[in-house]
Amino acid sequence: MSSAPVTLHLRAESKPLEHRSALTPTTAKQLIDAGFNVIVERSTQRVFDDAEFEAIGAPLVDEFSWPSAPKDHLIIGLKELPEESFPLVHEHIQFAHCYKNQGGWKDVLSRYHNGNGTLYDIEFLTDDKGRRVAAFGFHAGFAGAAIGLLNWAWQLEHEQPLTEVEWYPNETALVEDVKKAVESAVSRTGAKLPSVLVIGALGRCGSGAVDLLRKVGLPEENIIKWDMAETAKGGPFEEIVQSDIFINCIYLSMQIPPFVTMDTLNTRERKLSVIVDVSADTTNPFNPVPVYTVATTFKEPTVPVELENGPKLSVISIDHLPSMLPREASEAFSAALLPSILELPDRENARVWTEAKDLYKKHVARL
């Protein structure tokens, strides 16, 4: 172990409506107690108040000041950095979304390469069994299912798209709002409760979606749970077309046949009216839901699928869904990440960090 303490610089998130945090006051306190220096940027949108970090002994610095931090400080955050061109000289811990040929991946990696920096992509920090050490999957699925039901209920009574979706202070408040929206729409229109097909139902994300559906009172027979066994035959799948809501929760690691296509959806017999693409692989050339091209936002949560036949169909493809429950999602994620963070002083030898660095070098070599 190095005798010099590791300094972590928690940057403020710049993505609009991103309220989550890679570190929380709870985990920051644990790191400080373990001998780390933790510096926290002030933030106008983080769910945790600046004062909460100050109270546990973390010094506060200006928002977005990380580019001028000393080079030996590790910069930790969640979502991708703003699209700039200056070289990145630090070691960064974050989700970068650039290892699977996403749009602009070369521009992102070039910044690290040009500045002699390093990327430790949180998505690829894995344990000795290859499982991600920390992920927001459960809360992504939970929030995605919630917005899917809100949108389904909204479309029963409105011609215009679903309006802006707000974040919630806790899970209970979200569940109550969704339950009320569904019950009200069903009562006023006479519609039956929706059937919801979840693909990836056995994973973290899918289990979160199923949990929400159960908590709002959807009958078990209305929750269709698919995983690898059900999709092994390869899509497209007519069962999706005949469901009211389709929630895609898979982790895309290779090219697979599409789950739906414009042709399979363009039929008068279609029941499907809402697609929730929790995976949100919008720019991935192998996206198995290739019926839309833009990521949606909490401000504009849906995008229409232009079809000649069948009911109105819209897609929800928000790529930071857990921000709908930012405090609970952050606490769970940060607690899961903490054991790996505690190994940072020995990151030249600790497997989780050496493998992440090797993966970074592998992708930089593709430039």
Query: Which residues carry out catalysis?
Result: 79, 97
DSSP 105: H
3-state secondary structure 196-244: EEEECCCCHHHHHHHHHHHHCCCCHHHEEEECHHHHCCCCCCHHHHCCC
Compute the C-alpha angle 181/215/136, nearest 5°: 100
Q: What is the dihedral of CA 328, 332, 337, 338, to 10 degrees?
A: 90
* Interatomic CA distance for residues 320 and 323, integer angstroms: 6
Q: Residue 147 is inside which H or E element, if any?
A: helix 137-157
Phi-psi region of 7 (alpha: psi -120 to 50; beta: other; left: phi over 0): beta
320 among the known binding-site residues?
yes
206 among the known binding-site residues?
no
139 among the known binding-site residues?
no
Tokens of 150: 């809100």
231 among the known binding-site residues?
yes
* Interatomic CA distance for residues 153 and 182, integer angstroms: 5
> Taking Cα atoms as reference points, which of 292, 107, 136 lies closest to residue 207?
136
Work out the burial of residue 357: count CB atoms within 10 Å of its CB; fewer than 13 is exposed, 13-18 middle, 19 or more buried.
Answer: middle
251 among the known binding-site residues?
yes
99 among the known binding-site residues?
no
Rg of the chain, C-alpha, whole Å: 21
Phi, psi for 202 (deg, rounded to 5): -90, -10
Residues 128/354, Cβ–Cβ less than 8 Å: no
107 among the known binding-site residues?
no
> Taking Cα atoms as reference points, which of 237, 226, 293 lies closest to residue 265?
237
* Interatomic CA distance for residues 354 and 124, integer angstroms: 11
Residues making up the binding site: 131, 203-204, 227, 231, 251, 278, 318-321
Binding-site positions for NAD(+) read: 131, 203-204, 227, 231, 251, 278, 318-321
